[in-house]
Structure 1
Amino acid sequence: MTLVSYGGKSFRFDPGALCLELVTTGGPGEFARYEVLHEPADLVRWVERSRLPGGLEVTVTEGELAQTRALRDAVFLLAADRAHGQPLQARHLDVVNAAAAGAPLAARVEADGSRGWAAGATGARLLATVARDAVELFTGPYADRIRECGSDNCALLFVDTSRPGRRRWCAMEHCGNRQKARTHRARRAEEGD
Protein backbone atom coordinates (compact mmCIF):
# COMPACT_ATOMS: atom_id res chain seq x y z
CA MET A 1 0.00 0.00 0.00
CA THR A 2 1.07 3.59 -0.47
CA LEU A 3 1.38 5.84 2.58
CA VAL A 4 2.31 9.50 2.85
CA SER A 5 5.04 10.65 5.27
CA TYR A 6 4.88 13.68 7.57
CA GLY A 7 6.77 15.61 4.90
CA GLY A 8 4.22 14.73 2.22
CA LYS A 9 6.33 12.11 0.41
CA SER A 10 4.64 8.91 -0.74
CA PHE A 11 6.26 5.57 0.02
CA ARG A 12 5.35 1.91 -0.37
CA PHE A 13 4.63 -0.01 2.82
CA ASP A 14 3.84 -3.70 3.08
CA PRO A 15 2.72 -4.62 6.59
CA GLY A 16 2.53 -8.29 5.60
CA ALA A 17 -1.02 -8.97 6.79
CA LEU A 18 -4.51 -7.66 6.08
CA CYS A 19 -5.15 -6.91 9.76
CA LEU A 20 -2.00 -4.78 9.93
CA GLU A 21 -3.12 -2.87 6.82
CA LEU A 22 -6.18 -1.84 8.84
CA VAL A 23 -3.88 -0.61 11.64
CA THR A 24 -2.56 2.10 9.29
CA THR A 25 -5.97 3.84 9.44
CA GLY A 26 -5.49 5.27 12.95
CA GLY A 27 -5.30 3.81 16.41
CA PRO A 28 -5.84 4.23 20.12
CA GLY A 29 -4.51 7.01 22.33
CA GLU A 30 -1.97 9.27 20.67
CA PHE A 31 -2.55 7.51 17.33
CA ALA A 32 -6.16 8.72 17.18
CA ARG A 33 -4.84 11.87 15.49
CA TYR A 34 -4.15 9.75 12.39
CA GLU A 35 -7.75 8.52 12.20
CA VAL A 36 -9.02 8.23 8.62
CA LEU A 37 -12.14 6.12 9.21
CA HIS A 38 -14.62 8.91 9.90
CA GLU A 39 -17.59 7.59 7.94
CA PRO A 40 -18.59 4.29 6.32
CA ALA A 41 -17.38 5.45 2.91
CA ASP A 42 -13.85 5.76 4.34
CA LEU A 43 -13.84 2.06 5.21
CA VAL A 44 -15.08 1.22 1.70
CA ARG A 45 -12.15 3.24 0.28
CA TRP A 46 -9.75 1.34 2.56
CA VAL A 47 -11.11 -1.97 1.21
CA GLU A 48 -10.33 -0.80 -2.34
CA ARG A 49 -6.70 -0.08 -1.34
CA SER A 50 -6.25 -3.23 0.76
CA ARG A 51 -4.78 -6.58 -0.21
CA LEU A 52 -8.27 -8.04 -0.60
CA PRO A 53 -8.74 -9.02 -4.26
CA GLY A 54 -10.50 -6.37 -6.33
CA GLY A 55 -14.16 -6.15 -7.11
CA LEU A 56 -15.39 -6.36 -3.53
CA GLU A 57 -18.47 -4.20 -3.09
CA VAL A 58 -19.18 -3.84 0.61
CA THR A 59 -21.94 -1.98 2.41
CA VAL A 60 -20.94 -0.54 5.79
CA THR A 61 -23.14 0.93 8.51
CA GLU A 62 -22.12 3.43 11.19
CA GLY A 63 -22.27 0.65 13.81
CA GLU A 64 -20.03 -1.62 11.72
CA LEU A 65 -17.58 1.24 11.27
CA ALA A 66 -17.40 1.72 15.05
CA GLN A 67 -16.84 -2.04 15.51
CA THR A 68 -14.10 -1.94 12.87
CA ARG A 69 -12.30 0.88 14.68
CA ALA A 70 -12.54 -1.11 17.94
CA LEU A 71 -11.08 -4.18 16.20
CA ARG A 72 -8.35 -2.06 14.62
CA ASP A 73 -7.37 -0.63 17.99
CA ALA A 74 -7.29 -4.11 19.58
CA VAL A 75 -5.14 -5.49 16.75
CA PHE A 76 -2.85 -2.46 17.01
CA LEU A 77 -2.30 -3.00 20.73
CA LEU A 78 -1.85 -6.78 20.36
CA ALA A 79 0.68 -6.33 17.55
CA ALA A 80 2.58 -3.69 19.54
CA ASP A 81 2.66 -6.00 22.57
CA ARG A 82 3.92 -8.86 20.41
CA ALA A 83 6.55 -6.63 18.78
CA HIS A 84 7.85 -5.59 22.21
CA GLY A 85 7.77 -9.07 23.75
CA GLN A 86 4.88 -8.23 26.07
CA PRO A 87 2.07 -10.65 26.98
CA LEU A 88 -1.12 -10.28 24.96
CA GLN A 89 -3.95 -8.62 26.89
CA ALA A 90 -7.14 -10.65 27.35
CA ARG A 91 -9.45 -7.68 26.73
CA HIS A 92 -7.89 -7.10 23.30
CA LEU A 93 -8.00 -10.80 22.48
CA ASP A 94 -11.70 -10.82 23.40
CA VAL A 95 -12.39 -8.11 20.79
CA VAL A 96 -10.54 -10.05 18.08
CA ASN A 97 -12.12 -13.38 19.00
CA ALA A 98 -15.65 -11.95 19.11
CA ALA A 99 -15.22 -10.41 15.66
CA ALA A 100 -13.64 -13.59 14.25
CA ALA A 101 -16.68 -15.62 15.35
CA GLY A 102 -18.86 -13.88 12.74
CA ALA A 103 -19.39 -15.00 9.16
CA PRO A 104 -16.53 -13.83 6.89
CA LEU A 105 -16.68 -12.48 3.36
CA ALA A 106 -17.54 -15.21 0.89
CA ALA A 107 -15.16 -15.66 -2.01
CA ARG A 108 -16.21 -17.31 -5.26
CA VAL A 109 -14.72 -18.39 -8.58
CA GLU A 110 -15.73 -16.23 -11.54
CA ALA A 111 -16.38 -17.59 -15.05
CA ASP A 112 -12.93 -16.42 -16.19
CA GLY A 113 -11.27 -18.34 -13.35
CA SER A 114 -10.51 -15.26 -11.26
CA ARG A 115 -11.49 -14.76 -7.64
CA GLY A 116 -14.61 -12.76 -6.98
CA TRP A 117 -16.95 -12.05 -4.10
CA ALA A 118 -20.43 -13.26 -3.31
CA ALA A 119 -23.10 -10.59 -3.19
CA GLY A 120 -24.14 -9.21 0.16
CA ALA A 121 -20.74 -8.21 1.53
CA THR A 122 -21.28 -6.23 4.72
CA GLY A 123 -19.10 -4.42 7.19
CA ALA A 124 -19.76 -7.25 9.67
CA ARG A 125 -18.42 -9.83 7.21
CA LEU A 126 -15.42 -7.61 6.48
CA LEU A 127 -14.82 -7.31 10.22
CA ALA A 128 -14.90 -11.11 10.64
CA THR A 129 -12.48 -11.54 7.72
CA VAL A 130 -9.97 -9.06 9.17
CA ALA A 131 -10.32 -10.58 12.64
CA ARG A 132 -9.69 -14.08 11.27
CA ASP A 133 -6.58 -12.75 9.57
CA ALA A 134 -5.45 -11.42 12.97
CA VAL A 135 -6.07 -14.84 14.56
CA GLU A 136 -3.92 -16.43 11.84
CA LEU A 137 -1.20 -13.84 12.37
CA PHE A 138 -1.05 -14.12 16.17
CA THR A 139 -1.18 -17.93 16.16
CA GLY A 140 0.75 -18.68 12.97
CA PRO A 141 4.40 -19.12 12.01
CA TYR A 142 5.06 -15.36 11.80
CA ALA A 143 3.67 -14.49 15.25
CA ASP A 144 7.20 -13.92 16.54
CA ARG A 145 8.10 -11.78 13.54
CA ILE A 146 5.75 -8.90 14.23
CA ARG A 147 7.93 -5.80 14.39
CA GLU A 148 7.72 -2.08 14.94
CA CYS A 149 9.75 0.14 12.63
CA GLY A 150 13.25 0.72 14.02
CA SER A 151 13.11 4.47 13.43
CA ASP A 152 12.88 6.67 16.51
CA ASN A 153 9.80 8.49 15.26
CA CYS A 154 7.86 5.77 13.42
CA ALA A 155 5.47 3.31 15.03
CA LEU A 156 4.35 1.40 11.93
CA LEU A 157 3.86 -2.30 12.63
CA PHE A 158 4.65 -5.05 10.14
CA VAL A 159 5.31 -8.75 9.78
CA ASP A 160 8.92 -9.54 8.91
CA THR A 161 8.53 -12.10 6.13
CA SER A 162 12.11 -11.75 4.93
CA ARG A 163 14.03 -15.01 4.76
CA PRO A 164 16.65 -14.07 7.38
CA GLY A 165 14.08 -12.31 9.59
CA ARG A 166 16.08 -9.09 9.96
CA ARG A 167 13.76 -6.44 8.53
CA ARG A 168 14.05 -3.31 10.68
CA TRP A 169 12.23 -0.57 8.79
CA CYS A 170 8.67 0.07 7.70
CA ALA A 171 10.16 0.82 4.29
CA MET A 172 13.78 1.14 3.26
CA GLU A 173 12.93 4.08 0.99
CA HIS A 174 11.40 5.92 3.95
CA CYS A 175 12.77 5.25 7.43
CA GLY A 176 15.66 3.01 6.37
CA ASN A 177 17.28 5.61 4.14
CA ARG A 178 16.76 8.37 6.70
CA GLN A 179 18.42 6.28 9.41
CA LYS A 180 21.33 5.38 7.14
CA ALA A 181 21.81 9.08 6.34
CA ARG A 182 21.79 9.95 10.07
CA THR A 183 24.33 7.22 10.81
CA HIS A 184 26.54 8.39 7.95
CA ARG A 185 26.42 12.03 9.11
CA ALA A 186 27.22 11.01 12.69
CA ARG A 187 30.18 8.90 11.53
CA ARG A 188 31.48 11.78 9.37
CA ALA A 189 31.12 14.18 12.31
CA GLU A 190 33.13 11.82 14.55
CA GLU A 191 35.84 11.52 11.91
CA GLY A 192 35.97 15.30 11.58
CA ASP A 193 36.61 15.79 15.31
Structure 2
Amino acid sequence: MTVVARKPGTPIAKLAHRAGHRCLDFVNSLVATNEPAPRDSLLSPSDYRIWAGMAGIAVDPQASEPVELAALNRARELRESILQILTAMLDGKPTPVGAIEHLTEEAARSFRSRRLAPADGHLAWQRTYHDLDSVTDLLAAEAAELFSRAGPLPLKRCIDADCGWFFLDTSRNKSRHWCSMTDCGNRAKARRHRARQQLEECAN
Protein backbone atom coordinates (compact mmCIF):
# COMPACT_ATOMS: atom_id res chain seq x y z
CA MET A 1 0.00 0.00 0.00
CA THR A 2 1.53 3.31 -1.12
CA VAL A 3 1.43 6.20 1.34
CA VAL A 4 0.50 9.48 -0.31
CA ALA A 5 2.77 12.40 0.61
CA ARG A 6 0.77 15.16 2.28
CA LYS A 7 1.31 18.56 3.87
CA PRO A 8 1.69 18.82 7.67
CA GLY A 9 -1.59 19.20 9.52
CA THR A 10 -2.71 20.18 13.00
CA PRO A 11 -0.32 19.08 15.77
CA ILE A 12 -1.37 15.60 16.80
CA ALA A 13 -1.92 16.56 20.45
CA LYS A 14 -4.58 19.08 19.39
CA LEU A 15 -6.70 16.62 17.42
CA ALA A 16 -10.01 15.71 18.99
CA HIS A 17 -11.22 12.11 19.12
CA ARG A 18 -14.91 12.36 18.31
CA ALA A 19 -15.59 9.82 15.54
CA GLY A 20 -17.27 7.23 17.74
CA HIS A 21 -14.74 4.51 16.87
CA ARG A 22 -10.99 4.38 17.37
CA CYS A 23 -10.08 3.35 13.81
CA LEU A 24 -12.07 6.33 12.47
CA ASP A 25 -10.22 8.66 14.83
CA PHE A 26 -7.04 7.10 13.45
CA VAL A 27 -8.02 7.98 9.87
CA ASN A 28 -8.99 11.44 11.08
CA SER A 29 -5.32 12.15 11.73
CA LEU A 30 -5.70 13.12 8.08
CA VAL A 31 -7.71 16.30 7.50
CA ALA A 32 -9.64 17.31 4.37
CA THR A 33 -9.10 13.98 2.62
CA ASN A 34 -11.94 14.85 0.26
CA GLU A 35 -10.03 17.92 -0.95
CA PRO A 36 -7.11 18.13 -3.45
CA ALA A 37 -4.54 18.87 -0.72
CA PRO A 38 -5.27 16.90 2.48
CA ARG A 39 -3.10 17.45 5.54
CA ASP A 40 -1.41 14.87 7.76
CA SER A 41 -0.90 15.11 11.52
CA LEU A 42 0.82 11.72 11.84
CA LEU A 43 4.33 12.63 10.72
CA SER A 44 6.67 10.96 13.21
CA PRO A 45 6.84 8.01 15.61
CA SER A 46 6.43 10.54 18.41
CA ASP A 47 3.15 11.68 16.84
CA TYR A 48 1.96 8.08 16.75
CA ARG A 49 2.84 7.60 20.41
CA ILE A 50 0.96 10.75 21.35
CA TRP A 51 -2.06 9.66 19.30
CA ALA A 52 -2.04 6.21 20.92
CA GLY A 53 -1.98 7.73 24.38
CA MET A 54 -4.90 10.01 23.53
CA ALA A 55 -6.78 6.95 22.21
CA GLY A 56 -6.20 5.06 25.47
CA ILE A 57 -3.64 2.61 24.06
CA ALA A 58 -0.60 1.95 26.26
CA VAL A 59 2.79 1.97 24.53
CA ASP A 60 6.20 0.79 25.75
CA PRO A 61 9.22 3.11 25.93
CA GLN A 62 10.71 4.20 22.63
CA ALA A 63 12.60 1.61 20.59
CA SER A 64 15.44 2.22 18.13
CA GLU A 65 14.86 4.80 15.40
CA PRO A 66 14.74 2.28 12.50
CA VAL A 67 12.20 0.14 14.36
CA GLU A 68 10.07 3.16 15.22
CA LEU A 69 10.12 4.50 11.65
CA ALA A 70 9.19 1.09 10.24
CA ALA A 71 6.27 0.90 12.66
CA LEU A 72 5.11 4.39 11.65
CA ASN A 73 5.25 3.51 7.95
CA ARG A 74 3.21 0.37 8.58
CA ALA A 75 0.63 2.39 10.52
CA ARG A 76 0.31 4.96 7.75
CA GLU A 77 -0.10 2.20 5.16
CA LEU A 78 -2.93 0.71 7.20
CA ARG A 79 -4.51 4.15 7.45
CA GLU A 80 -4.45 4.47 3.65
CA SER A 81 -6.30 1.17 3.28
CA ILE A 82 -8.93 2.10 5.86
CA LEU A 83 -9.35 5.49 4.17
CA GLN A 84 -9.95 3.82 0.80
CA ILE A 85 -12.55 1.50 2.32
CA LEU A 86 -14.38 4.33 4.09
CA THR A 87 -14.38 6.52 0.98
CA ALA A 88 -15.78 3.70 -1.16
CA MET A 89 -18.52 3.04 1.40
CA LEU A 90 -19.64 6.66 1.45
CA ASP A 91 -19.42 7.07 -2.32
CA GLY A 92 -21.36 3.88 -2.96
CA LYS A 93 -18.53 2.45 -5.02
CA PRO A 94 -16.91 -1.00 -4.99
CA THR A 95 -14.36 -1.34 -2.21
CA PRO A 96 -10.81 -1.53 -3.64
CA VAL A 97 -9.65 -5.14 -3.56
CA GLY A 98 -6.13 -4.15 -2.60
CA ALA A 99 -7.37 -2.25 0.45
CA ILE A 100 -9.46 -5.23 1.58
CA GLU A 101 -6.56 -7.63 1.14
CA HIS A 102 -4.21 -5.33 3.02
CA LEU A 103 -6.61 -4.94 5.95
CA THR A 104 -7.17 -8.70 5.99
CA GLU A 105 -3.43 -9.34 6.16
CA GLU A 106 -2.94 -6.78 8.91
CA ALA A 107 -5.87 -8.12 10.95
CA ALA A 108 -4.39 -11.63 10.68
CA ARG A 109 -0.99 -10.29 11.72
CA SER A 110 -2.58 -8.73 14.79
CA PHE A 111 -2.66 -12.13 16.51
CA ARG A 112 1.09 -11.80 17.09
CA SER A 113 0.44 -9.27 19.86
CA ARG A 114 -2.76 -10.47 21.51
CA ARG A 115 -4.24 -13.58 23.06
CA LEU A 116 -7.44 -14.75 24.70
CA ALA A 117 -7.41 -14.85 28.49
CA PRO A 118 -10.00 -15.40 31.25
CA ALA A 119 -11.79 -12.25 32.33
CA ASP A 120 -14.80 -12.16 34.70
CA GLY A 121 -16.37 -15.41 33.58
CA HIS A 122 -15.63 -15.01 29.88
CA LEU A 123 -12.68 -14.74 27.52
CA ALA A 124 -11.28 -11.41 26.43
CA TRP A 125 -8.48 -10.28 24.16
CA GLN A 126 -5.35 -9.09 25.93
CA ARG A 127 -2.35 -7.41 24.35
CA THR A 128 0.89 -9.35 24.73
CA TYR A 129 3.13 -6.59 23.34
CA HIS A 130 2.91 -2.84 23.78
CA ASP A 131 5.21 -1.47 21.07
CA LEU A 132 4.09 0.77 18.20
CA ASP A 133 3.46 -2.24 15.97
CA SER A 134 1.04 -3.59 18.56
CA VAL A 135 -0.94 -0.34 18.29
CA THR A 136 -1.31 -0.97 14.55
CA ASP A 137 -2.26 -4.59 15.29
CA LEU A 138 -5.06 -3.38 17.55
CA LEU A 139 -6.32 -0.83 15.02
CA ALA A 140 -6.32 -3.42 12.22
CA ALA A 141 -8.32 -5.86 14.33
CA GLU A 142 -10.81 -3.17 15.37
CA ALA A 143 -11.22 -1.92 11.79
CA ALA A 144 -11.83 -5.44 10.50
CA GLU A 145 -14.44 -5.99 13.22
CA LEU A 146 -16.16 -2.67 12.39
CA PHE A 147 -16.36 -3.30 8.66
CA SER A 148 -17.56 -6.89 9.06
CA ARG A 149 -20.58 -6.04 11.20
CA ALA A 150 -23.94 -7.08 9.82
CA GLY A 151 -25.97 -4.28 8.28
CA PRO A 152 -24.95 -0.82 7.05
CA LEU A 153 -22.77 1.36 9.22
CA PRO A 154 -24.13 4.76 10.30
CA LEU A 155 -21.07 6.25 8.63
CA LYS A 156 -20.91 9.97 7.85
CA ARG A 157 -18.32 12.48 6.77
CA CYS A 158 -18.17 16.05 8.06
CA ILE A 159 -19.56 18.34 5.35
CA ASP A 160 -17.05 21.06 6.18
CA ALA A 161 -14.71 20.90 3.17
CA ASP A 162 -11.74 21.91 5.34
CA CYS A 163 -12.41 18.98 7.69
CA GLY A 164 -13.92 15.91 6.05
CA TRP A 165 -13.56 13.79 9.19
CA PHE A 166 -15.37 10.46 9.34
CA PHE A 167 -17.74 9.62 12.20
CA LEU A 168 -20.52 7.27 13.20
CA ASP A 169 -23.84 9.09 13.33
CA THR A 170 -25.59 7.70 16.39
CA SER A 171 -28.07 10.57 16.65
CA ARG A 172 -31.73 9.58 16.94
CA ASN A 173 -32.76 10.73 13.44
CA LYS A 174 -29.34 10.26 11.79
CA SER A 175 -29.26 13.93 10.81
CA ARG A 176 -25.78 14.84 12.00
CA HIS A 177 -23.78 16.75 9.35
CA TRP A 178 -20.63 17.85 11.15
CA CYS A 179 -18.02 16.05 13.21
CA SER A 180 -18.80 18.59 15.91
CA MET A 181 -21.48 21.25 16.11
CA THR A 182 -19.25 23.37 18.36
CA ASP A 183 -16.43 23.45 15.80
CA CYS A 184 -17.31 22.80 12.18
CA GLY A 185 -21.02 23.41 12.73
CA ASN A 186 -20.48 26.83 14.29
CA ARG A 187 -17.97 27.78 11.60
CA ALA A 188 -20.55 26.91 8.94
CA LYS A 189 -23.14 29.06 10.72
CA ALA A 190 -20.68 31.94 10.91
CA ARG A 191 -19.93 31.66 7.18
CA ARG A 192 -23.66 31.70 6.34
CA HIS A 193 -24.13 34.73 8.59
CA ARG A 194 -21.31 36.62 6.89
CA ALA A 195 -22.70 35.71 3.47
CA ARG A 196 -26.14 37.07 4.42
CA GLN A 197 -24.58 40.27 5.72
CA GLN A 198 -22.67 40.74 2.47
CA LEU A 199 -25.85 40.22 0.45
CA GLU A 200 -27.70 42.73 2.59
CA GLU A 201 -24.88 45.26 2.17
CA CYS A 202 -24.87 44.77 -1.59
CA ALA A 203 -28.65 45.17 -1.69
CA ASN A 204 -28.38 48.46 0.16
| Pairwise TM-score range, normalised by the shorter structure | 0.7 to 0.9
CA RMSD of aligned residues (A): 3.4
Residues of 1 paired with 2:150 and 2:197: CA distance? Answer: 41
| Aligned position for 1:43 | 48
Paired residues, number: 178
Residues of 2 paired with 1:97 and 1:107: CA distance? Answer: 20
* CA shift in 2, pair 1:122/1:109, >3 Å: farther
Deviation of 1:171 (Å): 1.1
Q: Which runs of 5+ in 2 are unaligned?
A: 1-8
- Equivalent position to 1:123, from 122, 132, 152: 132
- Equivalent position to 1:65, from 63, 72, 75: 72
TM-score, scaled to structure 1: 0.73
Q: Is the 8 A contact 1:148 1:158 kept in 2?
A: yes
Deviation readout 1:61-88 (Å, 9 max, x if unpaired): 3322211110011111211222222221
- Equivalent position to 2:172, from 163, 180, 190: 163
SS in 2 for 1:121: coil
Report matched runs for 1:1-193 at 5 Å.
12-26=16-30, 30-31=37-38, 33-39=39-45, 41-52=46-57, 55-57=58-60, 61=67, 62-102=69-109, 103=111, 104-105=113-114, 120-140=129-149, 143-187=152-196, 193=203
SS in 1 for 2:156: strand
Deviation of 1:91 (Å): 0.7
Residues of 2 paired with 1:132 and 1:85: CA distance? Answer: 24
Deviation of 1:187 (Å): 4.4
Residues of 1 paired with 2:108 and 2:184: CA distance? Answer: 37
Q: Is the 8 A contact 2:24 2:167 kept in 1?
A: yes
Identity across matched positions, percent: 25
* CA shift in 2, pair 1:34/1:142, >3 Å: farther
Q: Which runs of 5+ in 1 are unaligned?
A: none
Deviation readout 1:31-86 (Å, 9 max, x if unpaired): 3x4242323x332221101144xx55376633222111100111112112222222
